[in-house]
Chain A
Amino acid sequence: MYKYIIKRLIYLIPVLLCVTLLIFTMLYITPGDPARMILGNDASDEAVEQYREELGLNDPFWTRYFRYLVGILHGDLGTSYTTKMPVAKEIAERFPTTFVMALLVTIFGTLVGVPLGIISAIKQNHAVDYLATTVGLIFVSMPSFWLGLMMIVLFGVKLKWFPTSGWYGPQYAVLPAVTVGLTGIASRMRMTRSSMLEVIRSDYIRTARAKGQTEFKIITGHALQNALLPVVTQIGMAFGTNMGGMIITEQIFAIPGLGKMMTDAVNQRNHPVVQGGVLWIAFATSIVNLIVDVLYAYIDPRLKAQYVSNKKKKAQAPKEAKAEGGAAA
């Protein structure tokens, strides 16, 4: 298992290398001059040209790319054009906010969505199921920027229950978390429902019934673990995406997270921040994926077998043969 994790971490290196090359190339060919953006339209051409030279923007592509790579290897993601702060520090400042938000959203969506999905699967084609699926469909189809604005209007402006924007305490997290969470609930519910429906028709559930097991234990003890796999995948993917910042939601609620940092940086052609941000998001997503993959092994023992190296399998084979022979005798 540890071997598998280490292997996956090594695979991370080429992935991240590709990410740097892609994002660097993309920013290289995007129109717009960072020096001009920073100095403003009033600055003279000479000043802009001198600034370009200072930033190293006039060097050839490969020179700039390798300079960037060497920087990364030394733990230096570059310096923000606008704030003059190291990008790594900027990300480190923003990341906790985004991480807390992503965690809140994921927990909220899962704690509500998964039980709803289970209930709706058990009560398939009953009123509860229809209600849950319809509400789920509505939330999944609602764009989060619209939902966010409506939340602000209703709970922030009209009812004044929660602050409308900013990030100064737990109460500020409620509206954005619910906004993104509602979409999460819906997709989590639909995934759980369909996965559950498949599982509760399977033979081993019938076996459990034939044992005289109670319906509650059949669902929680037998069906859920089997139905969880696709749900965990989805939760992991959603969490990974959210870790990159909920770009629109952070913008609407003015949350100083990674998403807001990225949108601002793109607008200002703040290349080092964009590059650093994308690299960090790629890294975080990969780690989350790795965690999800490791979780699989604990949910489904059949998958764990795939992680065990071939060498170990061979060592187990004679034992297997012996047992088989013993059973036949």
Chain B
Amino acid sequence: MALLDIKNLTIYYETEDGVVKAVNGIDLQLEKGESLGLVGETGAGKTTTALGILGLIPNPPGKVKGGEIWFDGQDLLKTPEKEMRAIRGGKISMVFQDPMTALNPVHKVVDQIAEMVLLHNEGISKADAQVRALQMLEMVGIPADRANEYPHQFSGGMKQRVIIAIALACNPEMIIADEPTTALDVTIQAQVLDMIRGLRERLGTSLLMITHDLGVVAEICDKVAVIYGGEIMEYGTLEHIYNETAHPYTKGLFGSLPRLDLDVDRLTPIQGLTPDPTNLPAGCPFGPRCPQHTEACDVKPPYNEISPGHFVRCMLFNDQAINTAGKESEE
């Protein structure tokens, strides 16, 4: 059984200007010890999915409209708030996108790590929590003599290390990393990614990596889910996504990457803009931008398994489906 099993998760933001359909029936599985990349453009619903798992959707305006999130045999959407607090940080922790703002500016770095330790280890003394916090800092490569400094005395990359130290402080079963390297410059990105990979290998933590960077995914993840308009477009192993790319959207994403091995003057971007989440197309959300668009795309395409473990939501692959039963998520 998968560690994390999201079934048909739907999250809307109900604002005065209309209903923002951020996540529309997502299915995702993450096995124990595995790392899954959730790839998509800005506004595709990646962060909303992550916050949904932790039950941190700001409400109002956000609202989970339906679906199930099974984690360790427990439906998180039906878990009472008190138990959710034990799960947040204790079993699932999150690394946020912007290290510049994710740390409390008025608390010492060591205290922010120790806070996590104190919350999830009942009966631990403050002194022991501090010791554990110092160990975590050393683990992410920050010398302990800087523990009593404040976040503004740290560089961006070091802040992100602190955030990762906080996330790992209580040995969680799963980490959700929401674009952990987006706000960092390239050399620091590589360091942080190396560190995440190294720590994960050592600690065996499962990882849900949210990113828009296909390079990051290739480096860190075992499996990939491509999300667009709040729906999973394609899901499979690295092999499936990178070598047997099926969905036109995924192909478009690869087409817009600069390549070193080919001499091209211009990149081929995907035409058009991401759909307005208050007014999604009736059929395939990618339909209006798809170069292979046909009339068949005006109805919602089914989520087909085209080879074992490789799922695609596209009309083009309707007849190649080896198994659609149970994976149907049409309304």
Contact = CB atoms under 8 A, between A and B. Distances in A.
A5 B106 CA distance: 22
Contacts of B86: 212
B42 interface: no
A226 B105 contact: yes
B143 A326 contact: yes
B255 interface: no
Contacts of B85: 212-214
B183 to A, nearest CB: 11
Contacts of B104: 204, 207-208, 222, 226
A129 to B, nearest CB: 13
B56 interface: yes
Given A207-B103, A212-B87, A327 B56 contact: no
B56 A210 contact: yes
A211 B86 CA distance: 9
Interface string B121-153: 000000000000000000001110110001011
Contact of B102 (A203, A213, A324, A326): A203
Interface extent on A, as a size class?
20 to 34
Contacts of B105: 204, 226, 300-302
A225 interface: yes
Interface stretch (B154-162, B223-231, B274-282, B312-320): B154-162
Interface string B105-120: 1110000000110011
Contacts of A204: 101-105
B26 interface: no
A89 interface: no
Interface stretch (B91-99, B239-247, B261-269): B91-99
Interface residues of B, number: 39
Contact of B116 (A206, A209, A211): A211
B141 A225 contact: no
A206 B106 contact: no
B166 interface: yes
Contacts, number: 88
A323 interface: yes
B152 A305 contact: yes
A128 to B, nearest CB: 16
Contacts of A208: 104, 115
Nearest to B82: A214
A6 interface: no
A267 interface: no
B115 A323 contact: no
A213 B85 CA distance: 7
B150 to A, nearest CB: 4
Interface of A: 202-204, 206-214, 222, 225-226, 299-302, 305, 320, 323-324, 326-329
Given A212-B85, A212-B116, A305-B152, 11 more contacts: A204-B101, A211-B119, A212-B86, A212-B89, A212-B119, A301-B106, A302-B152, A323-B142, A327-B141, A327-B142, A327-B158
Interface of B: 54, 56, 84-90, 93-94, 96, 98, 101-107, 115-116, 119-120, 141-143, 145-146, 150, 152-153, 155, 157-158, 161, 163, 166, 191
8 contacts: A204-B105, A207-B96, A207-B102, A210-B89, A211-B166, A226-B105, A301-B150, A328-B141
